[in-house]
Amino acid sequence: MKIERLDGAIYRAAEGFERELEGELDDARPIGGGLYLAPGRRAEWAIDVWSEPVRITFDKLAGAASALLSLGPRWTLLPVALFDRAAHVERMLPPCPLEPIRFPARPPPAPGVWTLAARNEIYASAKTASPFPAGEPRFVEDKTHPPSRAYLKLWEALTLLGEHPKRGDVAIDLGSSPGGWTWVLQSLGARVVSVDKAPLAPAIAKLPRVESRQESAFALDPRSFSRVDWLVSDVICFPERMVALVLRWLAAHPKARFVVTIKLKGATDTRALDPLRAVPGSRLVHLFHNRHELTWMRP
């Protein structure tokens, strides 16, 4: 059994977005299952980064489990190949039950993550960037009140941001219909101005502290609001138009927090997002619940 510490980091792409992640990494070496070993750098398309990667080679399965336990006490398997053999190793490790997160509670520290890449070869890291195991959030879902599953995207973003609206905050929700994000903001205690040409779901429109405006998000003047604590948006439009809209709101309300989805059209080209990248303290991420889009967050 041998443990080899690797230079760089291991990056994981969400399923279907391997090409986007590989395209932004230098000298990326695919491991399998959307995992890439590459020199350390910021990667927007990675849903998780294994920051202390090792390669374990072994002869016996017990040796694989022993090697992992020498690196840390808690491990979760990311299965990518040789599933039965990986399951044998997993059974030799202490159980690591992963309870769903009750939003807005912070998730517990994520365990180390490992994968069996070949018959006698494991890649692992005791430390990862995501608070979610292997970058995959699992929430206790509300299947009764939200009008769609889009609320999970905002739950994920706010958990990563490490902040969320509190009672008394003023939140603007652009492109809000049918109201999943408005429901999240309102349930946290915020007063929400919900803006979309399409109507909110009736149950959401009737909630207290929700003001529904059936108009274009682009026609709304940010300066007409004396206070904005949160600006969130899931508007469907071209990236350049979304960036311009965000910069208008940022100029009018520089202390507001932002969670904004940027939809990408056709071939993946994110150069239009450079003005957002330049905003201090902000970041662009590809959420587990994102599709062909990135989410811009500014705490």
Instruction: Give domain 151-298's CATH superfamily.
Output: Vaccinia Virus protein VP39 (3.40.50.150)
pLDDT at 65: 97
**195: how many CB neighbours lie within 10 A of its CB?**
25
The DSSP bridge pattern shows strands 121-125 and 293-298 to be: unpaired
Confidence of residue 269 (pLDDT cuts 50, 70, 90): confident
The encoded tokens of residue 168 equal: 């008394």
Q: What are phi and psi of 240, to 5 degrees?
A: -60, -40
Does the structure show a pLDDT above 90 at 285?
A: yes
pLDDT at 233: 98
Average pLDDT, stretch 267-294? 94
Marked catalytic residue, from 127, 206, 263, 265: 263
Contact 158, 139 (CB under 8 A): no
pLDDT at 268: 82
Give 81-133 pLDDT, tens digit per residue.
Answer: 999 999 999 999 999 988 999 999 999 889 999 999 999 999 999 999 999 99
Asked if 263 is an active-site residue, the reply is yes
* Between 70 and 265, the higher pLDDT residue: 70
Contact 276, 295 (CB under 8 A): no
- pTM for this one? 0.94
Secondary structure of 252-281 as H, E, C letters: HCCCCEEEEEEECCCCCCCHHHHHHHCCCC
Euclidean distance between CA atoms 284 and 242, whole angstroms: 14
pLDDT at 120: 96
The DSSP bridge pattern shows strands 257-263 and 170-174 to be: unpaired
Does the structure show a pLDDT above 80 at 266?
A: no
pLDDT at 1: 86
Question: Domain limits of the chain?
Answer: 2-135, 151-298
Give 44-57 pLDDT, tens digit per residue.
Answer: 999 999 999 999 99
Give 136-172 pLDDT, tens digit per residue.
Answer: 999 999 999 999 999 999 999 999 999 999 999 999 9
Count the alpha carbons within 13 Å of 136 in the hemisphere toward its beta carbon. Answer: 13
Average pLDDT, stretch 289-297? 96
Average pLDDT, stretch 69-85? 96
Euclidean distance between CA atoms 123 and 35, whole angstroms: 10
pLDDT at 26: 86
Give 186-233 pLDDT, tens digit per residue.
Answer: 999 999 999 999 999 999 999 999 999 999 999 999 999 999 999 999
Q: Which residues lie closer than 8 Å to 139 by C-beta, 6 or more apart?
A: 100, 101, 102, 103, 152, 155
Confidence of residue 63 (pLDDT cuts 50, 70, 90): very high
Average pLDDT, stretch 38-44? 91
Average pLDDT, stretch 179-184? 98
pLDDT at 288: 96
Does the structure show a pLDDT above 90 at 43?
A: yes
**94: how many CB neighbours lie within 10 A of its CB?**
9
Contact 283, 253 (CB under 8 A): no
pLDDT at 267: 75
Confidence of residue 40 (pLDDT cuts 50, 70, 90): confident
* Residue-by-residue DSSP string for the chain: -EEEE-SSEEEEEPTT-HHHHHHHSSS-EEEETTEEEE-S---TTEEEEESSEEEEE-SSHHHHHHHHHHH-S-EEE---S-HHHHHHHHHTSPP---PPB-TTSPPPPPPEEEEEEETTEEEEES-BS-SSGGG---B---SSS-SSTTHHHHHHHHHHHT----TT-EEEEET-TT-HHHHHHHHTT-EEEEE-SSPPPHHHHTSTTEEEE-S-TTT--GGG-S--SEEEE---S-HHHHHHHHHHHHHH-TT-EEEEEEE--SS---GGGHHHHTSTT-EEE--TT-SSEEEEEE-
